[in-house]
């Protein structure tokens, strides 16, 4: 028997002397008010805790007075509701193991009725405070209804936007739609190289890269090309550049990934990537610096016109 608790008639409820806690904190009670089936309710075990009795004692009294508790006053959680409730509010393994039966949920009217069958002053006092908490919760919901509505609308908008984006990507995958332009920011090194790799793997015959500052790291990326694809580079001959391409680098590359041809030119300032003489991309930074600073890329329309002109002027 716990200190401060006395046993009364077996048909009644065990009552606790609550002289030290005559006024429960409304916030404590509000934290135990849940929304189930679009109603604010309290679970039997939480009510028992507030009343200072065992849960089975509450349920015994309810069963003896079941005609006073229609479903709008009290209902038992369904299996799905029970599992959801356990996953959210049963904090310990012992709690979960001990919950073999779905609990009962009491609405505001059910709590009011409960105080009439518990037959104790404590039950009446606690029920009044619980009712106050229900009122406070209802007032809070009413005062913030517009905010909740807007949050729901934002959530729905996000769901719809995510769905549209997913549909867009599905169509891109289905019809082979490719990205044609974009911007990479400083630090997006992986994203930039990933995109470059996708471009070079599109080539089935030849890759032409016009970039004044090609170094050994660019060859590393070009090695990811499809087998048999020819690579032609146009770059500056700059011995002062860090990690410049040497003849040995060219020979080693051709030994594994033929065929690479390097041409030296000082006629081009901008960088271009030509795929199979069908697509031409303008790249805003040297490929050796991808992701190190902000740059953009875009496909040049009317490739059939521009590719011959570019190649004729380098």
312: left (phi over 0), alpha (psi -120 to 50) or beta: alpha
141 or 35, which is more confident? 35
Compute the average pLDDT of residues 4-24: 39
Task: Convert the pLDDT of each residue in 40-99 to its tens digit.
Answer: 899 999 988 888 888 998 999 999 999 999 999 999 999 999 988 888 765 555 454 456
pLDDT-based confidence at residue 272 (cuts at 50, 70, 90): very high
In the predicted structure, residue 181 carries a pLDDT above the cut 60: no
Lowest-pLDDT choice from 108-122, 167-181, 246-260: 167-181
Task: Say what the pLDDT of residue 43 is.
Answer: 93
Considering the entire predicted model, what is its pTM? 0.44
Give domain 171-312's CATH superfamily: Endonuclease Chain A (3.30.870.10)
* Cα–Cα distance list, 62 to 32, 74, 108, 135, 151 (Å): 20, 10, 15, 23, 39
Backbone angles phi, psi at 91, to 5 degrees: -80, -30
Bridge partners of residue 74, in order along the sequence: 106
Residue ranges of the domains in the chain?
A: 5-146, 171-312
Distance separating alpha carbons of residues 234 and 272, to the nearest angstrom: 10
Lowest-pLDDT choice from 5-9, 69-73, 150-154, 284-288: 5-9
In the predicted structure, residue 159 carries a pLDDT above the cut 70: yes
């Amino acid at each position: 028997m716990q200190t401060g608790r006395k046993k009364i008639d077996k048909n009644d409820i065990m009552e606790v002397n609550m002289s030290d806690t005559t006024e429960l904190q409304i916030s404590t009670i509000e934290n135990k008010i849940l929304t189930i089936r679009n109603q604010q309710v309290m679970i039997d075990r939480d009510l028992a805790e507030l009343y200072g009795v065992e849960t089975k004692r509450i349920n015994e009294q309810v069963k003896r007075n079941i005609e006073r508790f229609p479903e709008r006053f009290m209902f038992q959680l369904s299996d799905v509701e029970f599992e959801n409730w356990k996953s959210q509010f049963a904090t310990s393994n012992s709690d979960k193991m001990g919950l073999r039966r779905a609990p009962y949920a009491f609405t505001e009217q059910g709590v009011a009725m409960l105080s009439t069958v518990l037959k104790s002053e404590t039950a009446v006092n606690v029920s009044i405070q619980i009712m106050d908490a229900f009122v406070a919760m209802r007032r809070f919901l009413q005062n913030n209804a517009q905010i909740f509505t807007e949050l729901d609308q934002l959530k729905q908008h996000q769901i719809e936007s995510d769905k549209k984006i997913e549909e867009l990507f599905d169509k891109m995958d289905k019809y082979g739609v490719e990205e044609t332009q974009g911007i990479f920011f400083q630090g997006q090194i992986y994203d930039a190289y990933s995109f470059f790799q996708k471009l070079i793997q599109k080539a089935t015959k030849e890759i032409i890269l016009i970039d004044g500052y090609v170094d050994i790291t660019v060859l590393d990326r070009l090695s990811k090309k499809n087998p048999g694809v020819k690579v032609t580079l146009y770059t500056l001959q700059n011995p002062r550049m860090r990690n410049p391409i040497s003849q040995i680098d060219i020979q080693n590359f051709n030994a594994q990934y033929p065929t690479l041809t390097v041409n030296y030119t000082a006629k081009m300032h901008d960088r271009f990537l030509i795929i199979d003489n069908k697509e031409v991309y303008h790249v805003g930074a040297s490929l050796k610096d991808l992701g190190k600073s902000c740059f953009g890329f875009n496909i040049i329309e009317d490739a059939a016109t521009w590719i011959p002109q570019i190649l004729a002027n380098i």
